[in-house]
């Protein structure tokens, strides 16, 4: 059942207490899903500086994370490097990549959240305990979400998610 824009049910709150790993799509989650394309073919995207502090909160809680992106673009790799998040890019099958990561970490999907924004994310959203989508996601993904952010992608949605998890896990 979809929890619209920041609504957290008691069942969702209990699931969030157990999260040990979170995977994010990049474009449309860390960015506003827009791209600036320059004459030389190089690209730039807009993302929120708020996200870095939120991600650190998760690290402090021992929650591991990764970015799984279909896009093979140096800007994705550069931003993830700056945020100190492992980046798997150029992934045509995001679910297989997520399953491989989880297997390597010896945890089950019961302890995993995934954040997406488009139809390529649906397989991952279907298999994790906490499927999250940003509020400006493609309409086709909303039915798969347990939580929908109140902030759009690239404008603090990642920070909102990190703050929410941190608050619930620390009871603050």
What is the average per-residue pLDDT within 108-114? 97
DSSP state of 41: S
What are the pLDDT digits (tens) for 115-137? 999 999 999 999 999 999 999 99
Task: Work out the pLDDT band at 4, boundaries 50, 70, 90.
Answer: low
133 beta partners: 116, 148
Q: Domain spans of the chain? A: 10-170
pTM of the model as a whole: 0.94
Closest to 144 measured CA to CA, from 165, 117, 106: 117
**C-alpha distances in Å from residue 58, one per residue of 11, 33, 135:** 21, 24, 21
Burial class (CB in 10 A: 0-12, 13-18, 19+), 27: buried
Q: Is 10-170 a domain of CATH 3.40.50.1000?
A: yes
Q: Is the pLDDT of residue 7 over 80?
A: no
Q: Is the pLDDT of residue 2 over 70?
A: no
Query: From the CB of residue 139, how many other CB atoms can be counted at a distance below 10 Å?
Result: 7
Return the percentage of the chain with pLDDT > 90, whole number: 88
What are the pLDDT digits (tens) for 43-99? 899 999 999 999 999 999 999 999 999 988 899 999 999 999 999 999 999 999 999
Q: Is the pLDDT of residue 3 over 70?
A: no
What mean pLDDT is reported for the chain? Answer: 94
């Amino acid at each position: 059942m979809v929890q619209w824009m920041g609504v957290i049910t008691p069942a969702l709150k209990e699931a969030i207490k157990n999260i040990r790993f979170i995977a994010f799509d990049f474009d449309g989650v860390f960015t506003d899903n827009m791209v600036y394309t320059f004459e030389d073919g190089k690209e730039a995207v807009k993302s929120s500086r708020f996200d870095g502090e939120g991600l650190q909160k998760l690290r402090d809680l021992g929650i591991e994370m990764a970015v799984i992106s279909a896009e093979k673009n140096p800007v994705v790799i550069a931003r993830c490097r700056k945020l100190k998040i492992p980046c798997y890019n150029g992934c045509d099958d995001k679910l297989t990549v997520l399953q491989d990561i989880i297997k390597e970490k010896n945890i089950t999907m019961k302890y995993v959240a995934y954040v997406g924004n488009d139809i390529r994310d649906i397989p991952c959203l279907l298999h994790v305990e906490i499927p999250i989508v940003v509020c400006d996601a493609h309409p086709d993904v909303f039915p798969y979400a347990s939580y929908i952010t109140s902030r759009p992608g690239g404008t603090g949605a990642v920070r909102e998610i990190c703050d929410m998890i941190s608050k619930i896990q620390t009871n603050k």
